[in-house]
Structures are given as structure tokens and as C-alpha cells.
Amino acid sequence: MQENSQTAAPTSKTPVLRRRRRSTMTRRTILVMSAFALILMLGICLVADLLYLKVKLEDTTALGYSYAKSASRYVDGDRIAAYVATGQTDEYYELVQQYLNALLKTSSLDYFYIMHPTTDGIVYIWDSSNVPEVKPNPLGTKYPYPKGCSYEIMQEMFTLNPEEKPFFIKDETGGAEISTVYPIYDSKGAMVALSMADVRVDSFNKDLVKFVLSIILSIAILVTLLTIILYIYIKKHIISPIKQLNRGTEDLVSSIDQGTGFNFAIKTGDEIEDLAQSFKNMHQELKDYLQALSKATAEKERIDTELHLATNIQTSMLPKLTPNFASRSEFKIYGTMTPAKKVGGDFYDAFLIDQDHLAMVIADVSDKGVPAALFMVISKTLIKLRTELSDYPSPAQVFKTVNQQLLENNDAGMFVTAWLIIVDLKNGQGHASNAGHEHPVLCHRDGRFELVEYQHSPPLGCLEDLEFEEHDFKLSAGDTIFVYTDGVAEAVNTQGEQFGTDGILKALNKNLGLAPEELVPAVCAELDHYVGEAEQFDDITMLAFTYLGAHDAQHEAGAQA
């Protein structure tokens, strides 16, 4: 029961995960659209604010300038000097005051006044206020210049042409104000006073706030409606098809395993429909690929099995030298072959022609893998058969015959390098032939290993009617011959440096006095240490032979001792 409950748990969680992913997509869409709507609304409000300020300022300036100009033309400039000097009002003064009050009430201005500038301040002549809490200044009231204004500025206003440019003064002492100015002239054309219309900034800002709020409300309603419409469109044409596509892709593997189709229809007429079609195509291609992969895997397993069998067959064809010649006291022999691939093209062999003659051969086919292994089997068989045909065969004659046989039907153009020696076990006399192979290494008793270099003949299977050279060896008791394939000398380390014949001689002389079954593994160990992690590209084969002397001679030497 416990095992069943644990198995069912993941299945019960799957729908929850799906719902979570769907809600996340919807929530993100709403959040993004809301953020976009908010940014859009703020941008519109900012632009509307700037436009409103610009238009409001222009309208206020134009209105104030128009009123200031009208008042300057109504006022008699010749009376200004007397009012400033005496501070006394008259009937004309009252008429002008009534005119200014009436003019102000018909406008959206906050203050309207006429003043006379002095070096240390301004003197009010007429003053009218549209703000209940602010009382008008009586005739002769003098105030210092507010911040942002000065006598020099007033003089500049007198010297400029008011028809070309209005003037603005910001009073920030008791509250910011925007002032529009027009000069008043006397009968002589001299400027004697300034007609000024003011608008308080706080009332200006109140209008701005009302305007912005109305804009925000209108935009909020509009953007909300657009957002809802856009969300409905996105949900219908994007979110829902993607959810449907997601459900289909989650069942992709199971549909392939069960052999069912990728069944869902998305008709949006856009890229999402193309994406759904691509998933359908991918489903079919993946299904075909998995079927092909299954066949390829089965085929690879079959090939691996056959290669493993071929490896076993090839390994079994190499002679087991130590047990085969355990009864022979005249010599000791040991060999090893490590293919670069599953099967290789190197081989070695040793066999008795009769009780007194031993043949040893080592060879390297010109290719790797299965073709080389097949050619190796043919070469090994031909050399052994030809060597065993005669009581006292010549290595050169063996190679001549085998060379002609290998040339027959050799369409692949393969060849083999080989070294063959036949040793007379009674006296240590040896005859060897080298068909393009590596030089053998010889060590006399109590001596050191040295290369035996002499003229090579061409490899087997290259040219017709070849005559092969022979080389004689005279072995004494305790002498050792070591032969190898080019995979040993050409093995490289991680720096790309070859082991070489110098490495072979160094490894051999480092292990002097060892029997063949110990010497060959010792050289292999030296080679492995040198190569390290570098990849092996060629077969590695070694064969060692130590001549111990004739049986009768050993017995006699033992008796004398």
C-alpha cells in the first residue's frame, strides 16, 4: 500500500503544476499590460501638463497685456506726477479707480494696478484686487521691489518698445505672481508709470490640477477599456493557443511511445499556427528518428557483438607461447599484441618446424580494423603453411612465395611488413628475412640491447617476382632477440613526441636479465608511462626470444658444475 501511494503522488501533482504555469502566464500578461497602461497614462499626463502650462501662460499673457494696454490708454499720464507728489485723490482719480475695478471683475486676473517706479521701490497710484482676502493699496503706498524685480528692470521696461514685447515679473515674496506690464505716457511722450495685470501662481496651479485630474480620469477610463479589449484579444489569439500547444507538447513523448498522433488543431492564421504545425512536423520527425535510432542501436549492438567475437577469434589465433613451449628447455619466448581498434592488423607467431628448428614471425598489415584483421589472418596462414612445407625452409623463399600469393586478387592494394627467423635449436644458428619491417634488437649474454640494422626488402604484397634478402644470426646461450611493430616506436605522448627506437632501447636496457615473459610486460609498462593519456593510433605488438642453448650442452654444463 505504501508503494502504491508513492507512485501515485507525482501524477496528482502534475495538474497543479500545469495550473500554476497557466496562472503565471496570465498574471504576467496582466501585470505587463497594467504597467504599460500606467506608463502610457503618465506620459500622456506629462505631455498634457506641459502643453497646458504653455497654452495657459500664453493666454494669461495675452489677456493681461490686452488689459494693461487698455488701461494705459484710458489713464491721463499728465496727472501721474501730481498724484505721486501730493498723494491727494480727486474726482478723476475715483473715475479711474471705478474703471479699473470694473475692468478687473470682467477678467480672470487677480490684480490690476498702476504704479510709479523709484530707485528704492514702487509707489502705488491705482490698485484693484480680485482676491477677497487681499485689500487694495491706497494712493502713495510704497513697497520695496519684490524678489525678481529691481529699478534697473523697470528702467529697461521704459526703454523697450511694448508693442514688440510684453514683460513678465515674478513676485515670490507673498506668493508667486505673473505680471504683465505696459507703460503709460504723458502728453510729451515720456513714460511716467506702468500699467500692470497680475495672476497668482497658486490659482494658476489650481486650474492646472483640475485639468490634469480630468485628463487622468479620461485617460484611465480609455486605457482601462483598451487594456480589457487587448487582454481579451491576447488571451484568445496568444494565451489560449499557447496553453493548447503546451498541453500537446507535454504529451509528446507518451504519444510517440503509444504510437498516437499529435492531435490538436490551432487555427490562428499567424505565427502561432505555424509553430503548432512545426511541432506536428517535429513530432513526426522525432518519431521517425527514434525508430531509425532504435534500428541503428540494434545494428550497432549486432556489430559490437560481431566485433567482440572477431576480437576473441583473433586473440585465439595468436599462439599461447609460454604454455605451448613449456616443455622446451632450449629457449623461452613471449609475445603480446594490443590492437588500436576492436581488431588489429598486427600479428606474431612461433612454431616448431621439427624438433630442432623454431620459426618466429612478427608482421604489421597496412590498415586497421576488420579489413586489416582479415588480411592478417590470410598472411599469417600463408606464412605458416609455406614455412612448414619444407624440412629446411629459407625465410627468403617463404616470403617470395607468400608475396606472390598475396598479390593474387588483392584489389584493396593492402600489404604487410614482416620479419621471419628460423633458428636451429641445436647450435643457435638463425636465418632471418625482413620484408620492410622494423629492425630487430639483439642482446648478447652479459651485454646490452642494440639494433641490428641491415638492408630491408620491400613489404609483402607490393610488387611481383621479388627476391628477398636474408640475414644470419649466431645466437649463444643467454642471447635475447626483441622484435616489435611500428606502433611501439611511433607511439606518442601528450606533447606529440614519439617513443622511438631510443625509447625502446632505453626500456630494454633498463630491464636487462629479465626472462621474455617479464621483459615484454616491463617494456609495455615503460611505454604506457611514456604515452600517458595520449590516444593510441596504431596496434602495439612485441615479441621476445631468449636462446638458452642446446639440451645436451646444458646437461653437460650442469654436470661439469
Give the whole-angstrom CA distance, residue 367 versus residue 176.
101
Query: For residue 275, what are the domain limits?
Result: 251-259+271-317
281 shares its domain with 176? no
In DSSP notation, 208-230 reads HHHHHHHHHHHHHHHHHHHHHHH
346 shares its domain with 356? yes
309 shares its domain with 395? no
Q: How far is CA 138 from the centre of its chain?
A: 83
490 shares its domain with 514? yes
pLDDT of res. 121 = 85
154 shares its domain with 188? yes
Q: What is the CATH number of the domain that holds 484?
A: 3.60.40.10
154 shares its domain with 164? yes
> Phi and psi at residue 358, in whole multiples of 5°?
-115, 130
Q: What is the CATH number of the domain that holds 69?
A: 3.30.450.20
* Burial class for 401, CB neighbours closer than 10 Å (0-12, 13-18, 19+): middle
135 shares its domain with 113? yes
Low-confidence ranges of the chain (pLDDT < 50): 1-22, 164-166, 172-174, 553-561
Asked whether residue 8 is domain-assigned, the answer is no
Model pTM score: 0.51
194 contacts: CB under 8 Å, gap ≥ 6: 114, 115, 116, 117, 154, 157, 181, 182, 183, 184
pLDDT of res. 241 = 75
For the chain, give percent helix, strand, coil, nearest 5.
50, 20, 30
Give how many domains the chain has, as a whole number.
Answer: 3
331-338 and 540-547 beta bridge pairing: antiparallel
470 shares its domain with 495? yes
* Burial class for 107, CB neighbours closer than 10 Å (0-12, 13-18, 19+): middle
Asked whether residue 222 is domain-assigned, the answer is no
Q: Are 256 and 235 spatial neighbours (Cβ–Cβ below 8 Å)?
A: no
- CA 180-70-67 angle, to 5 degrees, is 40
Asked whether residue 63 is domain-assigned, the answer is yes
201 shares its domain with 171? yes
- Say what the alpha-carbon torsion angle 469, 333, 313, 390 is, to the nearest 10 degrees: 40
pLDDT of res. 142 = 87
Asked whether residue 5 is domain-assigned, the answer is no
Give the whole-angstrom CA distance, residue 314 versus residue 365.
14
282 shares its domain with 428? no
499 shares its domain with 545? yes
Asked whether residue 529 is domain-assigned, the answer is yes
In DSSP notation, 102-158 reads HHHHTSS-SEEEEEEEETTEEEEEEEEESSTTSPPPPTT-EEPPPTT--HHHHHHHH
Give the whole-angstrom CA distance, residue 463 versus residue 441.
27
Q: Which three cell numbers stand for residue 16?
A: 497543479
Asked whether residue 537 is domain-assigned, the answer is yes
298 shares its domain with 394? no
